[in-house]
A and B are shown apart, each in its own frame.
Chain A
């Protein structure tokens, strides 16, 4: 199956525009330094108060990043179950897939990423440790937020628009429900090569560690809430007085309405839009690149219309393990895209 010529053209033009967007926060920082005369690298080391400020932030948010977010996900998951938001769609196969994916992210992926950060980066970028530690905290957060999330937008978009990449991302879309469990429901090979993780790890190694912690906590909270079956954004659409806030919010970050549309089973109802809404933390990328669809409504059905419940091991580890479901995209002789 070949990629559509129009899609290919859009990918090329949008990716070229992205090169400018990556440099934009640094260009703005340069402009600010030019105007204010600020030269942070002339300080031999961060001042004591600045250092304490960084340390207090890391001290406060470090545990949140380590285990606080896990607790956050589990608590919200319990709330979802309590309200019966998964209904009866969490079958044995789906439970096994969700639990295996959630466990793999802690047992396999986190230790692997930590190893890469500690061992591989010093070898790949020798002598560059903390080279850009002079970047002020605010600018560091902005640089990481843009770099990390725009990279994930591209990684995600390519897995939807390049046919031979789709099957690595299919697991995330196969469930017929939305909820906390969805955020970590991924094929291991899709996750282990997450470009934005290596990019952010490299930037942290180069001296932007403090800003990286803030950016990642912010991103984890937004993406988890966007996958949640709790429609926290509904009041913003319901009350007229909140409409201006809704207008900004739904264009800036991923909300349940826009991200649920991305997980919809169909596009026929004018609500679902799995051909776009690729943004993770920021929805702004979809707005900029013309892949956005905003309806302020939630799809009636989720997942893949032809999905027949592939085994958890195939969903977790395809193409190492194949599905036994006849005609499945994950089966040994299955189609690339059904």
Chain B
């Protein structure tokens, strides 16, 4: 193997890392946000529930 082969391998590995990491970050972020958004949505409901029952 020559120096240019090592350079080529390095570039190839880098491409592989980008192609792996970008979708992984998108999925991690979107799954985290799904839970976060719907949990805060649920928390609002819990807070508003007693007020609604009090009004009755």
Chain A residues with a Cβ under 8 A of chain B:
19, 22-23, 26-27, 29-30, 33-34, 39, 41, 132, 134-135, 143, 147, 150-151, 154-155, 158, 162, 164-165, 168, 189, 193-196, 198-199, 202-203, 206, 319-320
Contact = CB atoms under 8 A, between A and B. Distances in A.
B27 A30 contact: no
Contacts of A150: 23
B26 A203 contact: no
Query: By DSSP majority rule, is chain A's interface helix, strand, loop, or mixed?
Result: helix
B27 A147 contact: yes
Given A22-B27, A189-B9, A193-B13, A320 B19 contact: no
5 contacts: A22-B27, A164-B11, A195-B17, A320-B1, A320-B5
- Give the bracket for the number of chain B residues in contact with chain A: 20 to 34
B38 A195 contact: no
B12 A168 contact: yes
A158 B17 CA distance: 13
Contacts of B17: 195
Nearest to B22: A19
B20 interface: yes
Given A151-B19, A195-B16, 7 more contacts: A23-B30, A29-B34, A30-B30, A41-B39, A165-B12, A165-B15, A203-B24
B51 interface: no
B16 A155 contact: yes
B8, B12, B17, B27, most chain A CB atoms within 10 A:
B27
Contacts of B5: 319-320
Contacts of A135: 31
B12 A155 contact: no
Given A34-B38, A165-B12, A22 B19 contact: no
B23 A189 contact: no
Contacts of B13: 193
B1 A319 contact: yes
A59 B48 CA distance: 45
B51 to A, nearest CB: 20
B37 A30 contact: yes
Contacts of A23: 26-27, 30
Interface pairs A-B: 10 shortest CB-CB? A193-B16, A26-B30, A195-B19, A195-B20, A319-B5, A30-B34, A22-B26, A22-B23, A23-B30, A198-B20
Nearest to B37: A30
Given A193-B12, A203-B27, A155 B19 contact: yes
A164 B19 CA distance: 16
Contacts of A143: 27
Contacts of B1: 319-320
Nearest to A190: B12
A319 B30 contact: no
A202 B31 CA distance: 14
A322 to B, nearest CB: 9
A158 B16 CA distance: 10
A25 B47 CA distance: 30
Contacts of B39: 39, 41
B56 interface: no
A132 B11 contact: no
A101 B28 CA distance: 34
A168 B11 CA distance: 12
B12, B26, B28, B37, most chain A CB atoms within 10 A:
B12
A196 B9 CA distance: 18
Contacts of A154: 19
